[in-house]
Amino acid sequence: MVSILLLNPTVVTMNGENEIIREGFVYIENGKIIDVGSIDKLPYEYKYSDLVLNLKNKVVLPGFVSYHTHLSLFPLRFMGLGLTLSEWEETVAWPYESTLTPEESLYASKLAIYAFIKNGVVAFADMHFNMDSVAKVAKESGLIANLSVAILETGSFSYEKTLKENIELYRKWNGVDNGRINVYLGPCSLRYLSREQLSEIALIAKEENIGVHVHASETLDDVRRTKEKFNKRPIEVLKDYGLLSENTIIAHAVWVTEKEINYIAKSKANVAHCPVSNNILLSGNMPLVDMVSKNVRIGFGTDINPSWDVISEARLAYYTTNTLYGVPSRISPYMLLEMATGNYAKFKGIENHGKIAKGYDANIVVLDFTGIRGWPRTSNIYEAILFSGASIETVIVRGEVIMDSGEVLTINADEIRKAKKTIERKLNKIYGK
């Protein structure tokens, strides 16, 4: 693996709110950050790196993480806006998902991951179907991926089949490429599982030491249906079944009580906050300040975000928090960036991500503030990253440059064109032109 020197950027280390190096360097070797500091202290030998990127007037920071996605649903992200979650599932998602082929999942995932790279995302957690296809695209792309099959029992999907697919995915893909791809179990939602089925998933997770990615408390209807089936609220059920741990990703967690927040915090489970999806599908707003006050590990999930952009999630979280809690704001731009860059929440594959510091994985994005949408006064650096719309120029994942000067290197344009045509045919067949 090549050595890389990032020369003379503003380094947003995310080591602390005031730890910014205005004219700095980052030296990368074997996928790790070996050294970082001020340009006037640059060791002479670093100048002979295999790759030297002159980043004067550019900003570098840890890459963004999406903690909850459905890559194969990328083509649906503009459809059914204004519907509730249940309405959207019935009229938009199920007709598409019930006929989704492995080839179509591969092409949809390719489009989604391409968009992720363009938006500076270096790692994601995904739950859906045909996940072997998704894993192939993830491996090709160079991104860090945590994958799970949506395990559920509905009219279109069998619990036995989806559980088997998840276990097969784990055996084939977990730990692949030096741990860049990992697999969790994906109990889709408690309302789609029986007590016996959830018990079996919990037993497998415990015996095999496999993490869990689950939707919980996304809507009031979700809470109601879970209480009807289990006689308890969703987070309480997860606790009772031993499914709350630092290896758990809870997607949404909108309708949670103070007691449930305490359970999440104590267990060190990770919450994927999806404010764009929650607002589009009229699900509600997660009590972000309450969770932060309890030190809950929170990151952002893009879910069906139309722009497929983690930063847009952070912006909306800021706006809605101000609306819900009023002034003074309890969530700072720096804290939102900590959530966006993987400083709080973790999943297998990003344990060593979230800071630009010695020994951390070299998962880095380069931002260009010199364009029309950039903000030249980077004295307000965290605000500028969140709100200015500065362009993402370069993406590095574990020391590999996967986007350079805006060009994605791991997925070519011809593949994207082919993917778009394939998916367009499917959408026209299901929904009409």
Cβ atoms of 6 and 55 closer than 8 Å:
yes
Total Cβ atoms within 10 A of residue 35: 16
The whole-number pLDDT of residue 327 equals 66
pLDDT tens string for the chain (433 positions)? 789 999 999 999 999 988 999 999 999 999 999 999 999 999 999 999 999 999 998 999 999 999 999 999 999 998 988 899 999 999 999 999 999 999 999 999 999 999 999 999 999 999 999 999 999 999 999 999 999 999 999 888 999 999 999 999 999 999 999 999 999 999 999 999 999 999 999 999 999 999 999 999 999 999 999 999 999 999 999 999 999 999 999 999 999 999 999 999 999 999 999 999 999 999 999 999 999 999 999 999 999 999 999 999 999 999 998 888 776 668 999 999 999 999 999 999 999 999 999 999 999 999 998 876 766 666 789 999 999 888 999 999 999 999 999 999 999 989 999 999 999 999 999 998 7
* Token duo for residue 243: 């499914």
Taking the domains of the chain in order of start, what are their residue ranges? Answer: 4-61+362-408, 64-340
Please give the full DSSP string across 17-34, using - where no structure is assigned.
Answer: TT-EESSEEEEEETTEEE
Total Cβ atoms within 10 A of residue 16: 9
Domain spanning 4-61+362-408: CATH 3.40.50.620: no
Cβ atoms of 137 and 110 closer than 8 Å:
yes
Nearest partner of 237 among 207, 193, 277, judged by Cα: 193
Scan for tokens 């764009």, then name that residue: 276
Secondary structure (H, E, C), 55-119: CCCEEEEECEEEEEECHHHHHHCCCCCCCCHHHHHHHHHHHHHCCCCHHHHHHHHHHHHHHHHHC
Cβ atoms of 110 and 153 closer than 8 Å:
no
Which class in CATH covers the domain with range 64-340? alpha beta
The whole-number pLDDT of residue 96 equals 95
The whole-number pLDDT of residue 45 equals 95
The whole-number pLDDT of residue 165 equals 98
Scan for tokens 């903000």, then name that residue: 375
* Token duo for residue 25: 């360097």
Structure letter (DSSP) for residue 390: P
The whole-number pLDDT of residue 371 equals 74
The whole-number pLDDT of residue 377 equals 62
Total Cβ atoms within 10 A of residue 19: 13
